[in-house]
Amino acid sequence: MFAWNTNKLSQRAFLACRGLVKHQMCLSQVRLMSSKPEIKNDWTKEEVAEIYNRPLINLIFDAASVHRKFHNPREVQQATLLSIKTGGCIETCSYCSQSSSWSKDTKMKAEKLLELDDVFQAALDAKAAGSSRFCMGAAWRGPSQVGPKQFERVLDMVSKVRSLGMEVCTTLGMLTEDQAKQLKHAGLSCYNHNLDTSREYYSEITSSRTYDDRLDTLQKVRDAGISVCSGGIIGMGEKELDRVGLLHMLATLPEHPESVPINALVPVEGTPLAKKDIKGPTGLEMVRCVATARIIMPKSMVRLSAGRMDLSIAEQALCFMAGANSIFAGDKLLTTPNAERDSDAEMFTALGLLNKPAFNGEEEPFEIPPTREESIRRREEWQALKNVSASGKGCEAIKTSA
Ligand code: SF4
């Protein structure tokens, strides 16, 4: 054992040894910092519950450590969400103001699908204001409910907005395989379809579709080669076990969703859930959900979505530390109010956050149609090929061209 009051040789030996230990600690810390945890999708519910229930101070640290291994912790993406078709929806999601089932109470009128030029202008404005992702939501059960003309217009919207170099996401309800492929051919980057809550609690939220319907659309999106955006809503009267159930379901999909929105319920007067007068989640509950999502889906974008207006800057800062790396910007989220851009700009400055570019600033992962005409041409070509194959001449056509 070395002591300070020994001869000079011993002191030098002590200092050298202490330096070595310190050096070794640094190396092991570096090794720890540089080793990325594996991406796993065979989590058990118990494992997810163990993470979710960690002391919050530890959970935030653990999530922040994972976050830094996969993402630049200062970068937060700004996305804009536009309602391209508002109200009159035949579904019965009890949190939603747009269902026709309670439109008398919400006073929400059904509007027509927006025109292409208006949507493009909104995307231009969003890009100019700093958004690198543009999401379009239609209050439909799915495109099949409205027929091909309106869906065609949405495909044009996708192609035109994508030509701006933005990530383009749509949320249009349930998709068929064909619709998913057409969206892909139009240049869609991502499709949003939230699981909302746990399988066990889902029937409390809607009776007009099942959890398996949701999973089916997510699979069709994945099969079409579109990246998946799926998350949930906290504060709908669910138990903490349901939050764990939702996160567990997302993290055990065959591939993690590339994008996981974590929403807090924004009660809208006249909706069934608002009538129940449920106490909303606290900021720290949101932090806990974000942190758990970050640990179990380390590569995904975790989006701090609806309900952000009720969070202080300090609470949002904890969410960013715990792994949230996207927000929705602009004063409206579909039909509910959202934080103003100016206050977000102040928050970015105060926290030292940077605006995350589209596609992480890398080359775009998909080959996108350079013009609207090209997009239409590719979709028509694909449709023609599909018709050939449906008529049984597909093999002949392939043989001829081989
Ligand atoms: S959440 Fe979507 S599907 Fe459900 S009622 Fe609202 S608009 Fe319709």
Which mutation among 84, 85, 86, 89 tests ligand 1's pocket best, with the greatest number of atoms within 8 A of CB? 89
Closest by Cα among 130, 127, 97, 125 to 111: 97
Instruction: Supply the DSSP symbol for 360.
Output: G
Q: Are 289 and 254 in contact (CB under 8 A)?
A: no
User: Which of the two residues, 134 and 6, has the higher pLDDT score?
Assistant: 134
Provide the residue ranges of all domains of the chain, joining segments of one domain with +: 56-358
Which pLDDT does position 4 carry in this prediction? Answer: 35
> CA–CA separation, 179 vs 143, rounded Å?
8
90-136 confidence digits (pLDDT tens): 999 999 999 999 999 999 999 999 999 999 999 999 999 999 999 99
Q: Are 392 and 182 in contact (CB under 8 A)?
A: no
Residue closest via CA to ligand 1's atom 4 equals: 93
Which pLDDT does position 362 carry in this prediction? Answer: 72
- Residue 179: pLDDT over 80: yes
Cα separations (Å) of 24 from 28, 93, 208, 328? 6, 56, 60, 44
Q: Which residues contact 244 (CB under 8 A, 6 or more apart)?
A: 45, 48, 49, 52, 198, 292
Q: How high does pLDDT run on average in the chain?
A: 86
**Is 68 annotated as ligand-binding?**
no
Rounded mean pLDDT of 21-42?
Answer: 58
Q: Which residues contact 120 (CB under 8 A, 6 or more apart)?
A: 157, 160, 161
How much of the chain exceeds pLDDT 70, in percent? 82
**Residue 169 a catalytic site member:** yes
Confidence of residue 3 (pLDDT cuts 50, 70, 90): very low
Residues framing ligand 1 (Cβ under 6 A): 89, 91, 93, 96, 98-99, 139, 173
Active-site pick, 133, 162, 169, 209: 169
Considering only CA atoms, give the Rg of the chain.
24
Assign 3-class secondary structure to 81-93: EEEEECCCECCCC
- Residue 340: pLDDT over 60: yes
User: Which of the two residues, 18 and 61, has the higher pLDDT score?
Assistant: 61
**What superfamily would CATH give domain 56-358?**
Aldolase class I (3.20.20.70)
Residue 58 has which token pair?
A: 């530890």
Rounded mean pLDDT of 307-332?
Answer: 92
User: Which of the two residues, 374 and 352, has the higher pLDDT score?
Assistant: 352
Rounded mean pLDDT of 380-391?
Answer: 64
**Is 17 annotated as ligand-binding?**
no
Residue 177 has which token pair?
A: 């395989």
Alpha-carbon torsion angle 52, 56, 58, 62, nearest 10: 50
